[in-house]
Structure 1
Amino acid sequence: MTGTAEGAAAPAARALVVTVSNRAADGVYADTAGPVLVEGLRAAGLAVEGPQVVHDGEPVGAALRAAVAAGFDVVVTTGGTGLNPHDETPEQTAPLLDRLVPGIAEALRATGLAKGVPTAVLSRGLAGMAGRTLVVNVAGSPGACRDAVEVLAAVLPHAVDQRRGGDHPRS
């Protein structure tokens, strides 16, 4: 991360991964998507907690509100972004967002599509700022999470630096 005084290294961005899955929350099967995000975000230099596994619906909103209150720099959710009637992650995320960052959500869908996953365009995931926390919704498959790490690893250092008040690099 850049943007700190006198070249001091900025502390690692704090991130939380939240997996949204009724069946994983009920112990029917193991969460396979959240750990992909955790591993990838750690490899990108973030201090990552989770995955925290929650049910669809209001538990998503509660987890996001708690994460924002706890001061996480980034929260990445996986799951609950599709067309199933229980998929409410975007609806739980939207009321918390002060400013949308649509390019991130667009890039996530475009990356999946470019990798031959036509259903990537069905993800309704959002990205935006909730106070000082960047919240990103990712589709709920391990493949979508691997693709998301590629996108997020390239932009999160700059996004967190900007959120912390950093300036644009001078050319």
Structure 2
Amino acid sequence: MQWKAAILTASDKGSRGEREDTSAQVIRELVEEELGGVIVDYRIVPDEQDEITAALIEMTEYYQADLVLTTGGTGLGPRDVTPEATQRVVERLVPGIAEAMRAGSMQKTRRAMLSRGICGIRGHSLIINLPGSPKGVHESLLAIIDQLPHALGILSGRIGEHSR
């Protein structure tokens, strides 16, 4: 099955063109190569809750992405508001995905415990907050990517909850 994915980068510097968005490239490669997904939307917004929220709504409703992967804004800094913006748009949380990402990344660096990223469902879309660094994105996605086809299959209705 081919999944529709969207990538949202939350970065003040990236949105101003002052920093190259290498984390999104890591997401793109893993989604295309490991998940067999197609990127239907990609954008960079500043670390502003309203802009992140609006982008998430558009990606899930207009583009009907099965999977929305955010990068950036999950740390402890005062401008890190991606989890709060995500919380505003999701209908249900999927805490196990965020826990698995942190646990997987903790095997590489203890700093992974500082990520506040969340995961949740909006309609038939799964939204996952990833860290902002390319290394953090890679480690986090690798920790969960094998379970995403099943999760997306359930959400989309393509497979039953208890299929193996």
Structure 1 or 2, whichever has the larger Rg, is: 1
Q: Which residue of 2 aligns with 1:139?
A: 131
Q: 1:30 aligns with which of 7, 20, 23?
A: 20
Residue 62 of structure 1: how far off its partner (Å): 1.1
TM-score (norm 1): 0.88
Q: 1:102 aligns with which of 95, 106, 111?
A: 95
State the identity as a percent: 38
Q: Which residue of 2 aligns with 1:62?
A: 54
User: Residues of 2 paired with 1:144 and 1:84: CA distance?
Assistant: 16
Alignment of 1:86-125 (within 5 A): 86-115=79-108, 117-125=109-117
Preserved contact between residue 138 and residue 148 of structure 1 (Cα < 8 Å): yes
**Residues 35-84 of structure 1: per-residue CA shift (max 9 Å, x gap):** 10011111121112454111111211111011111211010000000110
User: Residues of 1 paired with 2:25 and 2:69: CA distance?
Assistant: 12
Instruction: Give the partner amino acid of 1:134.
Output: L
Preserved contact between residue 98 and residue 129 of structure 1 (Cα < 8 Å): yes
TM-score (norm 2): 0.92
**Structure 1 runs, 4 residues or longer, greater than 3 Å off:** none
Q: Unpaired segments of 5 or more residues in structure 2?
A: none
Q: Unpaired segments of 5 or more residues in structure 1?
A: 2-11
Q: Which residue of 1 aligns with 2:152?
A: 160
User: Residues of 2 paired with 1:148 and 1:155: CA distance?
Assistant: 13
**Residues 90-131 of structure 1: per-residue CA shift (max 9 Å, x gap):** 11000111111101001111111111x111111110101011
